[in-house]
Amino acid sequence: MTASFPALRLRRPRAHDWSRRLHAENVLTPADLIWPVFIRDGENEREPVGAMPGVDRLSVDLIVEAAREAVDLGIPVLALFPNTPPDARSEDGREAVNPDNLMARACRAVKDAGIPIGLLTDVALDPYTSHGHDGLLSGDGRILNDESLDILAAQAVNQARAGADIIAPSDMMDGRVAAIRQALEAEGFRDVQIMSYAAKYASAFYGPFRDAVGSGGFLKGDKKTYQMDGANSDEAMREVAMDLEEGADSVMVKPGLAYLDIIARVKARFNAPVFAYQVSGEYAMMQLAIERGILERDRAILEVLTAFKRAGVNGVLTYYARDAAKLLGR
């Protein structure tokens, strides 16, 4: 038996921790993480998000503290999402271009504090509209693609003026990357990046996020006429190609875990910077299983994030960013 056994034993490199680390094909570091945080009104206010155990909405002053913590942990970017008060919402989402809205105030506060961290800001109207959609709505309930582009571009410029480093349009309107790039260039923001939500699917996994930003109760109908059909993969390639051609510096696939195949296809085909969003529903499922003792917390967090790296991402937006960075820093 010993004499006839193949010379190659694939278990050899697995025998010791040092050897497993030496042979690892993909390595996760804090620099691969983007930490999404939710902004609320007030001062020194921390409000738990009921549907997302362990995640809070933070007032602007606490966003600054979160930015400092992220830098200390080696996390390079914060992604900001506002919980706009109901009385500031409107049919046309005009609060999105208010230079003193929650997003703008949070950006300015972090930049004024001199914290060396990147700020990624979401461009879409759903946090600001009274109907909960990402674009303007017609009288008969249709999403108006072309009519939405001007306000989305103005929203992006508003965020850039406040200090945003990466504009992340998540609205899925056709042509919005070109409109935003042209607007940024015209205003002198040539170095502001665009990370487009290029392949954003109409997913069941967004529910807790809508609770976190306060848009869930406002949503009329669904978003299937502008977000992608989960059955489609080739269409994602067309979306990514269009956004890169229009001036996106990087692209995102959302959700993440259910679309690892899309991530892999995008990376293989375009060889461009690709990011994924481990969305609120994916986080909530894991967190509830962890809290019930079904999953081993530390191993589960790092295993899932490593899966994103294996699929080809350059980075992951994850509510576990802080936890993962602490684990990786041990």
- Structure confidence by residue, pLDDT tens digits, 271-324: 999 999 999 999 999 999 999 999 999 999 999 999 999 999 999 999 999 999
**Residue 172 and residue 145 in contact, taking contact as beta carbons nearer than 8 Å:** no
Which homologous superfamily is 28-214+229-328 in? Aldolase class I (3.20.20.70)
Beta bridge partners of 36: 79
Check whether 239 is labelled as a binding-site residue. yes
Q: Which residues are catalytic?
A: 200, 254
Kindly indicate the confidence band of residue 330, based on its pLDDT and cuts at 50, 70 and 90.
low
* Band (6; pLDDT cuts 50, 70, 90): confident
Query: Which residue would you say has higher pLDDT here, 277 or 207?
Result: 277
Q: Residues 96-99: contacts with CB within 8 Å, 24+ apart? A: 96/125, 96/127, 96/128, 96/151, 96/154, 96/155, 96/158, 97/151, 97/154, 97/155, 97/158, 98/158, 99/158, 99/161, 99/162
